[in-house]
Chain A
Amino acid sequence: MKFIKFLILGIVFGIVMAKSEAISWFRIQEMFRFQAFHMYGIIGTAVTLGVIGVALIKKFKIRDFHGNPISFYPKEKSIIRYLLGGIIFGLGWALSGACPGPMVVNIGYGFLTMTIVFLFAIVGTYLYGLIKDKLPH
């Protein structure tokens, strides 16, 4: 039962992604062509509220429901892995019109061919794990 809260959050996430149309290939194309504010509004609102909330959590040392401090770990410093990894991700995002979350929301929505995208995303992650040590990080 300790997982039910994550199931509910996942359901809410799926509904929001679908109802905001962020799972639509058309919306991603519209975003990368800078022809509408919609996607920028969604991400911008989330990040603006996120920045304020994270700052408040740090300032007031807010604890989680276990009573542990909520901590944020700085990601390791590098440029090449974030830039190269990000570019590869972006190429795939604009081609398939879906990042990992929206892939599975699409499957639930009934676009079952998105299963191919999701399965190959798993394969892509596996390939990364295989050749990780040979890549610049």
Chain B
Amino acid sequence: MRELITQTWSWWFSGAMIAGIMFFLLYFGQSFGFSSNLRTICAAAGAGKKTKFFDFKWKTQIWNLVFLVGAIIGGFIAKQFMSTDLPVQISTDTISDLAKLGIAAPASLQPAELFSLDAILSVKGFLVLAMGGLMVGFGSRYAGGCTSGHAISGLSDLQVPSLIAVVGFFIGGLAMTFLILPLIF
């Protein structure tokens, strides 16, 4: 029984849970879109005084910030009480592809080459994480949503703009994976 919790959860159960979360949010009068929080945080920090884009009633979005806090707690609970700390079981093809980039086979959920303290104390390591975050934050707002807002909520409503955004996610993701990562690592 305990194994069911500590092992990697199946794709079908995880996918169904995500759909469930989306429907609960709809039932509670809201919608599933995580990156809106980034705009809300800018507004709450006072960015609306100078920039019109952040001048909105951000307090109506507090529910989503609470959801964000919950997500942090959920990550903590998963690690402390529901994990075996086994390395992520990715495909052997991926392991050998990443080895060519100098990234070792998984020892946990994340590669030490990117997320260890040593990695971020180098200029390159810091820039990799900073640029990654910058592009996610800029791109999600430019596209009007991220994986939750477009790929899950938008596609569920069969919205063409969301399909275009998801095509964009993949063009960018494939370009990074096959063209740019080999230049960086």
Contacts and interface: CB of A to CB of B under 8 A. Distances in A.
B151 A26 contact: no
Given A23-B75, A86-B169, A100-B140, A91 B135 contact: yes
A124 B69 contact: no
Contacts of A26: 88, 90, 94, 98, 106, 109-111
Interface residues on B, range: 35 or more
Given A88-B172, A100-B136, A82 B19 contact: no
Contacts of A119: 133
A24 to B, nearest CB: 4
Interface in B107-158: 109-111, 114-117, 119-120, 126, 128-144, 146-148, 150-158
A89 B172 contact: yes
Nearest to A40: B11
A113 B19 CA distance: 29
A49 to B, nearest CB: 4
A129 B12 CA distance: 37
A91 B28 contact: no
B109 A21 contact: yes
Chain A interface secondary structure, helix, strand, loop or mixed?
helix
Contact of B139 (A46, A76, A79, A90): A90
B162 to A, nearest CB: 7
Interface in B17-70: 17-19, 21-30, 34-35, 37-39, 41-42, 47, 51, 53-54, 62-64, 66-70
Given A54-B156, A120-B133, A108 B73 contact: yes
Interface in A12-57: 12-33, 35-51, 53-54, 57
B16 interface: yes
Contacts, number: 478
A50 B19 contact: yes
Contact of B177 (A24, A33, A108): A33
Nearest to B18: A46
Contact of B109 (A36, A109, A126): A109
B91 A30 contact: yes
B176 to A, nearest CB: 4
A8 B67 CA distance: 8
A14 B142 contact: no
Interface in B158-173: 158-162, 164-173
Contacts of A49: 15-16, 19
B71 A75 contact: no
B95 to A, nearest CB: 9
Given A117-B133, A125-B42, A38 B94 contact: no
B137 A122 contact: yes
A126 B171 CA distance: 24
Interface of A: 3, 5-33, 35-51, 53-54, 57, 64-66, 68, 70, 72, 74-79, 81-101, 103-111, 113-114, 116-130, 132, 135
- A-B residue pairs, 8 tightest by C-beta: A14-B74, A86-B168, A10-B70, A90-B172, A45-B15, A124-B137, A96-B132, A50-B156
